[in-house]
């Protein structure tokens, strides 16, 4: 994985047991010019498997910047979705 990452890259992270396990065992690196970005909403997942936890653990391991998106993946109306995009 690390040999595929270059300066300025963005790494998108979802969530789940597998993603968190990978984050928990991945090697440490110094990728200060890389950004790890949460790809989906944050509500309803078990604490350790949540997207924000997975994103920040991978960012920490890579010494990269982590960006979380604190919103649900699915909204009840199109208007709410448009409001979040604004």
pLDDT single digits (tens) 43-64: 666 666 788 889 999 999 999 9
Task: Check: CB of residue 50 under 8 Å from CB of residue 73.
Answer: no
Strands 65-67 and 35-38: parallel
Average pLDDT, the chain: 87
Q: What is the CATH classification number for the domain harbouring 24?
A: 3.40.50.1360
Cβ(29)–Cβ(70) under 8 Å?
A: no
Tokens coding 26: 């991945």
Total domain count, the chain? 1
More confident residue, 70 or 61: 61
Give the pLDDT confidence score for residue 24 in this predicted structure. 92
Q: Are 38 and 51 a contacting pair, CB within 8 Å?
A: yes
**Listed residue (63, 68, 80) closest to 27, CA to CA:** 63
Angle of CA points 32, 25, 7, to nearest 5°: 20
Tokens coding 84: 């979040």
* Domain range for 9: 2-85
pLDDT given for residue 3 in this prediction? 86
């Amino acid at each position: 994985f690390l040999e595929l990452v270059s300066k300025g890259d963005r790494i998108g992270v979802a969530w789940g047991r597998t993603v968190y396990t990978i984050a928990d065992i991945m090697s440490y690196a110094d990728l200060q010019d890389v950004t790890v970005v949460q790809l989906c909403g944050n509500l309803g997942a078990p604490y350790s498997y949540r997207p924000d936890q997975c994103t920040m653990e991978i960012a920490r391991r890579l010494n990269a910047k982590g960006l979380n998106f604190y919103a649900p993946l699915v909204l009840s109306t199109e208007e709410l979705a448009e409001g979040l995009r604004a």
